[in-house]
Homo-oligomer: A and B are copies of this chain.
Amino acid sequence: MTVTLADVAARARVSPATVSRVLNGNYPVAASTRERVLRAVDDLDYVLNGPASSLAAATSDLVGILVNDIADPFFGIMAGAAQTEISGRPGAGHGGPGQSGAPHRGSPRAGGEKLAVVCNTGGSPDHELRYLTLLQRQRAAAVVLTGGALEDPAHVAAVSAKLARIADAGTRVVLCGRPPLPGPGSDVIHAALAFDNRGGGRRLTEHLVALGHRRFGYLAGPAGRTTTRHRLEGHRAALAAAGIEEDGDRLTVHGPYARRSGYDGTRELLRREPGLTAIVAANDTVALGACAALRDHGLRIPDDVSVAGFDDLPFSVDAVPALTTVRLPLAEAGARAGRLAMDREEPPPGGVATIAADLMARSSTAPPRR
Contact = CB atoms under 8 A, between A and B. Distances in A.
Give the interface centre of A105, A122, A317 by most chain B CB atoms within 10 Å. Answer: A105
A295 B169 CA distance: 56
Given A292-B318, A320-B320, A51 B133 contact: no
Given A51-B139, A106-B162, A119 B127 contact: no
A342 to B, nearest CB: 16
A70 B80 contact: yes
A213 interface: no
Interface string A48-87: 1111111100001110100001111101110110011001
Interface in A125-183: 126-127, 129-131, 133-139, 158, 162, 165, 169
A288 interface: yes
Nearest to A331: B71
A47 interface: yes
A315 interface: yes
Contacts of A45: 165
A120 interface: yes
A76 B70 contact: yes
Contacts of A79: 70-71, 120
A9 interface: no
A314 interface: yes
B47 A55 contact: no
Contacts of A51: 50-55, 60, 138-139
Give the interface centre of A69, A90, A138, A169 by most chain B CB atoms within 10 Å. Answer: A138
B73 A71 contact: yes
A32 B258 CA distance: 47
Given A70-B70, A133-B47, A84 B120 contact: yes
A284 to B, nearest CB: 9
B71 A76 contact: yes
A70 B118 contact: yes
A88 interface: yes
A259 interface: yes
A48 B314 contact: no
A211 to B, nearest CB: 22
Nearest to A106: B133
Contacts of A109: 137
B88 A47 contact: no
A213 to B, nearest CB: 23
What are the nearest 6 A-B pairs in CB distance?
A: A117-B117, A51-B54, A320-B320, A71-B76, A50-B137, A51-B55
Given A106-B133, A319-B320, 17 more contacts: A47-B165, A48-B137, A50-B138, A51-B52, A51-B54, A61-B134, A70-B80, A70-B83, A71-B76, A73-B73, A80-B120, A90-B130, A105-B126, A105-B129, A115-B135, A116-B120, A118-B120
11 contacts: A49-B55, A51-B51, A55-B55, A71-B76, A71-B79, A80-B122, A83-B120, A108-B133, A291-B318, A315-B315, A319-B320
